[in-house]
Structures are given as C-alpha cells and as structure tokens.
Amino acid sequence: MEPLLQQLERFSEVLSVSLTNHVSTWGPETVRRAFQWARYLRHVHRRFRSHGLAAVALLQPVEEELEASHPGISGEESQLLVGWLLEQSEVLAAFCRCLPAGLLTSVARRHPALCRAYLGLLTDWGEKLHYDLRKGTWVGAQSQDVPWEELLCKFQSLWHAPPPLKDQVLKALESSKARGGDFEARGLNFWTDLLLALRSGK
C-alpha cells in the first residue's frame, strides 16, 4: 500500500504542474508520460474496485491536491476521475462519505453527472432514517446509516452554493418532501425537518 500511495503522490504532483503555465514547455515525451500516469490511476482503480474504501483512500489525496492547486480544474484528468467513480456505486458512496462536504460541493459544481449521483445518494441516505421520539431527532436503524448531523452538514454546504447548484438542491429537497407527504410539522417528514433546519441556518 505504501508504494502505491507514494506513486499517487507523484501523480498528484504531475497534475499540479499540468495546471500551471509550465505545461506549455512540455514536449511530446513529457505529455506521453503524463497520460501514462492517468492510465496508471485507472489501473489502480481496477486493482481495488472490489475494495471501495481502499480505493477512496488512494483517490482522496489526489482529488484534494487537485482542489488545492486549481479550484477550477477541468480536463481529461478530472473526467477520468469522475468517470470511473460513476461506474462503481460502492466506491462512489464511500467517496461521498469520506470527503469533506465543502470539497464534495465544489466537485459537484463542476461535474453535473456527479452532482446528480451525489444528490441521489444523499436522498437515499436520508430516506433510511426514522424519527426517534425519545431522542427528538432522526436516526438510522443500522450502525452504517448516515446520521442526521452528517447529512445536514453535506446539505448545508450544497445549500450555500451559488446558483444553479443551490436551485437544483432546493428542487430535489422539495420533491422529496412532497413524496413524503408534504407535512409542515416537525418529526413527520425527514425532508420537512431538513428544509426547516437549512432555512433557519441551524
């Protein structure tokens, strides 16, 4: 595992340089090696496709490096990253659980397909919770269910995003609320309570 992490760290350095003016000085051989690194990332994915969390552990530092080095990143490297995420539901779910809410929101703004998948996961996770009268909050039936606090944090980040992402999130929340009975009182509909929390800033 350690050699792989070191290699992916070097790959993130290649991506960082590719986003600067220095890329204009690259010759054909350098470009060829950069694409070899991209193919290597896909190879790592294939090796770990049955181990979602391990794959995410390898991927996370690369995506964080991309975000830190160039918030507006686009191009083949990020498309490769998003493409194979969307192909593997287990890896995508782990990716959306492990990365910070702000980083996920930033990625969702740049990639509409990933945004739709992310919102779909959040919706699925929210619908697994039920209201616990004794605790006065929404809880999961199983330990692996995403807790209310985590879902609220992820939705808060999306809620504060600029349009059109915020509009898309609001539409998804209102649609889920309507499907759940469109109640206005607390404790009856997860989406009602979530919308109330978001609008109140809590």
Show the domains of the chain with their CATH numbers.
1-99 (no CATH), 101-202 (1.25.40.490)
Helix and strand totals (H; E) in the chain: 10, 2
Question: What was the pLDDT predicted at 127?
Answer: 93
Phi, psi (5° rounding) for residue 141?
A: -80, -20
Ranges of H-type helices in 19-131 = 28-48, 52-69, 76-87, 89-98, 101-110, 112-127
- Six-digit token string for 61: 């530092």
Residue 73's pLDDT is 46
Residue with tokens 């944090």: 153
pLDDT given at position 192: 93
Tell which residue, 161, 167, 145, 159, has the closest CA to residue 195.
159
- Which residues make beta-bridge pairs with 131? 138
- Identify the pLDDT of residue 115: 93
Report yes or no: 149 and 171 within 8 Å, Cβ to Cβ.
no
Distance CA 184, CA 59 (A): 41
| Cα 150 → chain centroid | 13
Does 100 sit behind a cis peptide bond, omega within 30 degrees of 0 on the bond before it? Answer: no
Note the pTM of the prediction, 2 decimals.
0.66
- Per-residue pLDDT 10s for the chain (202 aa) are 445 545 555 655 665 565 566 656 766 676 666 666 666 666 665 655 555 455 555 455 555 544 454 444 445 666 766 777 788 788 788 878 878 898 889 888 888 999 999 999 999 999 999 999 998 999 988 888 999 999 999 999 999 999 999 999 999 999 998 887 878 778 889 999 999 999 987 5
Distances (CA, A) of 112 to 11, 67, 80, 117, 137: 25, 17, 14, 9, 32
